Chains A and B, each alone.
Chain A
Amino acid sequence: MQGTIFDIKRFAVHDGPGIRTTVFFKGCPLNCLWCHNPESIGCEPFQSVRKIRLDDHLFDQPEKVGREVSVSEILNMLRKDRMFMEESDGGVTFSGGEPTMQPAFLKQLLIASKDEGFHTAVDTCGYTSRQTLAEIFPFTDLFLFDLKHVNSEKHLAFTGKSNEVILENFRYIIESKKRIRVRIPVIPLFNFIDDEMKNICDFLIPQKDNITQIDLLPFHTIAQNKYKRFGIANKMEGIKGLSKEDIYDAKKIFEKEGFKVKIGG
């Protein structure tokens, strides 16, 4: 079985417990203005060129963004770091893009990973079908759930989709007693506002027992060059990145309610 990914990152230490390998699926149903991987949004692989300077010469290095891979190819990659996963109680994380956009491929990968004895995590934006979630439940040890906003209109304006499905799926995962780690991108103009953060927090409080941790991911401008390189319009241009210190107050909002909170995941 084949699927489309755009990267595999080893020694991923912020995508779940321990030392992990993260597989980035290509294609995402949302179109977040701040996306750090804008090249991952479209489903189709595309050809690009990277300019590399070596001494006084500029070279064109062709680069394919996204590629078709088989389950067994990915599994071979995952096996390479088995020792590190075992030692650190780490595992594999399927991220994106949005992994649930390729449900059959994701399910096969999860089954194969569990066969290998890997701890599995799925990093999702939550915009998917209930059935897809139900199918992967048995093979998923942990969900990393991107919860961006509880206000539907604002969600629509900043991500291209309203959030009803997302919140519903969130509750569904919680009700199914799956372990869940909440990731909140902290974005200026969008949710980096005390009241907005409090609203998100209020939404999470009733589910506290099933939430292992909250990761606050401060907006940064590291992706600026990507927007330029891939010719994608950067709607967040000119907005400054947030530092750890900047979002310290936001962190306190959640900590006050007894959540384990980490900045940067």
Chain B
Amino acid sequence: MNNRIKNLREESLNAVNRITAERALLVTRFYQSDEAKGLSIPVQRAKAFEYILKNKELYIGEGELIVGERGPAPKATPTYPEICVHSLKDLEILNSRKKVWFRVDQETKKVYEEVIIPFWTGKTNREKIMSAMTPEWHEAYAAGLFTEFQEQRAPGHTVSGDKIFKKGMLQIIDDIRESIKSLDFVNDPRAYDKHEELKAMEIAAGALIMWAARYAERLDLLASAEENPARRQELQQMAAVCRRVPAYAPQTIHEALQYYWFVHLGVITELNPWDSFNPGRLDQHLYPIYKKQIEEGSISKDEVYELLQAFWVKFNNHPSPPKVGVTAEESNTYTDFCLINIGGVKEDGSDACNEMSFILLDVIEEMRLLQPSSMVQVSKKNPDRMVDRTMKIIKTGFGQPSIFNTDAIIQELLRQGKDLVDARKGGASGCVETGAFGTEAYILTGYFNMPKVLEITLNNGRDPMTGKKIGIETGDPHHFTSYEQVLDAFRQQLEYFMNIKITGNNTIERIFANNLPVPFLSLIIDDCIKNGTDYVAGGARYNSSYVQGVGLGTMTDCLTAIKYQVFDNKKVTMADMLKALAADFEGYEQLRFDLLYNTPKYGNDDDVADEQLREVFEINYNALNGKPNTRGGQHRVNLLPTTCHVYFGKVTGALPDGRKARIALSEGISPVQGADQCGPTAVIKSAAKVDHLRTGGTLLNQKFAPEFFEDDEAIHNMTKLVRSYFRMDGHHIQFNVISAETLRDAQKHPENYRDLIVRVAGYSDYFNDLGEDLQEEIIKRTEHETM
């Protein structure tokens, strides 16, 4: 990387995470103004978006090539008071907490106290949601049965397709006008709603062009005052780019990246959607433009690298917007889950790996930034050299890229009823979530604590952590005489809580559709324009809702322990097991030892243990899959925890697998920490017993000593390990290459490991930013030794 990039990268790493009241203040001013009055909701939202872009501060950093920030400066992070409003106490916590802090200055607090809090209290979407939820929902939520994604962030989780790389906003406006023209007020009872939505979309598209024009003007101004002729020319060039995009389709790499970046900021300024929007199949989007430019000689390879590196830095400037309350613990990270996809297959199903794929891999390796995150899609059609190259980056130990199975992803999407070409254009986003890029709203709704359901089942509907009865009575387990009875009671209990979750989801979806449409995001995702319907209201071609199951490994081992120790071998009575759990194994140390060391465990390719995995999977799947959402789509299963397994562990008492109360649950579909004793092939074989193709994503984490990547031969073996898992339809695998010693040292001397990044359940994070319990867990996770 050259000096310019070095400086930009360093500035980004050193920028202080802070809260800015800029957006909150602008959106408040808008809603207080006459301009906001008398408008339909979608048009009001679009006008608010326009107002923000018209009035927000512009930022152009020294030496920057790609311009635009969500806040007034890098890492100045806005808030979204229409979603939820931070209290002064929240701001104080953000300012002073040890990990993932955001500085809040006096001025911001003052604005909050005098303007934001008084105006928004009682009007936020979060309050609407909370007052609409049933008492059963509130009880289950408070007990930690599930979390709710949408209480503090907007429904997100979608990824750009190729549309913006082919169409300018002016063409998109033409499409909107066409759609308006074809409205049929006589026969379509929703014609007026569609009209207002489309009008809103047009305003939003125009707003982005206007914002780019503001940048162009400012860049010209800077150019005229610039003394260095090289930089002056650069600024003029950048101004020209901002005049071309987003209005017109991009013709150069510079225009393509700047266009995407404006769109990115548009999406995350309009609202704060989960998980952050991302460009998706970036190598596919850029390659045709790159090829043309190289052939005509209008760009050098060095310039391509420089632009991409400058683009990478922009992502890193944008920490995820900070939350309040329970979610501060459950998903506590600066990462906003932009997951750039590389490789995979083309629309026609052939190998999509191209020169740009390798360029992007070089950029990832050299930039070594937390954001954007990256992944490589591996199809059976992709060459080994692409995977080997990926392994060499993984070897450097910062947890990127993760590796996904394109062929599985396509089958998952087809099973959900998607078109084959749409499926091929898809990939994975966030942590591991399968989606049809550019055509799907696949909304994650919250994590679901499966082991907690078992805990409540073993207490006949009561939550032993609080003594409250929050579940249904599925029978006193003292009287259970067979394992099947336990399983059946668990099934009933899980269905009960899942239905509460789905009820909540279907209410919350409507609250968003009615109050907080996203006309800007709707421009990007097909077929919102054609349908005249918003992204959050079912306008997308495909509409899925996910509930992310957590603790599959823990759950499996719990059922195995009950089946194997209580019923099959009668080593312990149910009564004693229940007593031991109630006592958190105090006085039952031998039992706990036997549960941990002398009971079959998931992750060892042992059917005695893995059989229960299938049962848990089916119960969870049947309770959720196919249940309708309000957007014309269905609920689907995926299995990933982000960091929620730590939070869920904290609210869950002792469990039959020997786990003590409040310890983290297993993460993703990985075995319980330390339970896998037969090496990585056994873990993979066990994990392949999950029916990945019926999910929308699973997460398997494997930690390896660096020695496994020591030379080309070793790296190739790792490639083959992945290929084998994918032949068994595995969805995703990621490697942590690090030694436990290094991590211990990092705990002792965080100052020496400022840039130490590890992979935590689906994304990478700075080790120093992780909570101690998560740090401990990563250290504990089986390190497969080279012996």
Contacts and interface: CB of A to CB of B under 8 A. Distances in A.
Query: Do A and B come from the same complex?
Result: yes
Given A83-B728, A88-B720, A11 B679 contact: yes
Contact of A10 (B590, B679, B710): B679
A130 interface: no
A196 interface: no
A25 B723 CA distance: 30
A18 B720 contact: yes
Contacts of B720: 18-19, 84, 87-88, 90
A14 B711 CA distance: 12
Interface stretch (B25-33, B393-401, B592-600): B592-600
B681 A57 contact: no
Given A19-B717, A87-B720, A222 B593 contact: no
Contacts of B328: none
Contacts of A13: 708, 714, 717, 786
Contacts of B679: 9-11
Nearest to A21: B681
Chain B interface category by residue count: 20 to 34
B214 interface: no
Nearest to B678: A10
A11 B681 contact: yes
B721 interface: yes
A59 B727 contact: no
B724 A52 contact: no
B723 A61 contact: no
A18 B717 contact: yes
Interface in B694-731: 707-708, 710-711, 714, 716-717, 720-721, 723-724, 727-728
Contact of B681 (A10, A222, A262): A10
Interface string A215-254: 0000000100000000000000000000000000000000
Given A14-B786, A52-B597, A87 B727 contact: yes
Given A10-B679, A11-B784, A222-B787, A80 B708 contact: no
Nearest to A52: B597
Contacts, number: 69
B593 A52 contact: yes
Contacts of A54: 589, 592-593, 596
Contacts of B710: 264
A84 B589 contact: no
A81 interface: yes
Contacts of B589: 54-55, 57
Nearest to B688: A83
Interface in A1-29: 9-11, 13-14, 18-19
A11 B679 CA distance: 7
Contacts of B133: none
Interface in B722-781: 723-724, 727-728
Secondary structure class of chain A's binding surface, majority of residues: mixed
Interface in A72-119: 80-81, 83-84, 86-88, 90
Nearest to A265: B786
A18 B713 CA distance: 8
Contacts of B240: none
Contacts of B605: 80
A18 B786 CA distance: 15
A217 to B, nearest CB: 11
B717 A59 contact: no
A184 B681 CA distance: 28
B682 interface: yes
B680 interface: yes
Nearest to A88: B720
Contacts of B598: 61
A143 B781 CA distance: 35
Interface string B650-686: 0000000000000000000000000000111110110
A262 B727 CA distance: 30
Contact of A84 (B597, B681, B708, B784): B681
Given A14-B786, A84-B681, 10 more contacts: A13-B708, A13-B717, A13-B786, A19-B720, A52-B597, A80-B605, A84-B721, A86-B724, A87-B723, A264-B707
Interface of B: 589-590, 592-593, 596-598, 605, 678-682, 684-685, 707-708, 710-711, 714, 716-717, 720-721, 723-724, 727-728, 784, 786-787
15 contacts: A10-B679, A13-B714, A13-B717, A13-B786, A14-B786, A54-B592, A80-B682, A83-B724, A83-B727, A84-B724, A88-B724, A90-B717, A90-B720, A222-B787, A264-B786
Among all A-B residue pairs, the 8 with the closest Cβ atoms:
A88-B720, A11-B679, A87-B720, A87-B724, A83-B724, A84-B724, A11-B681, A10-B679
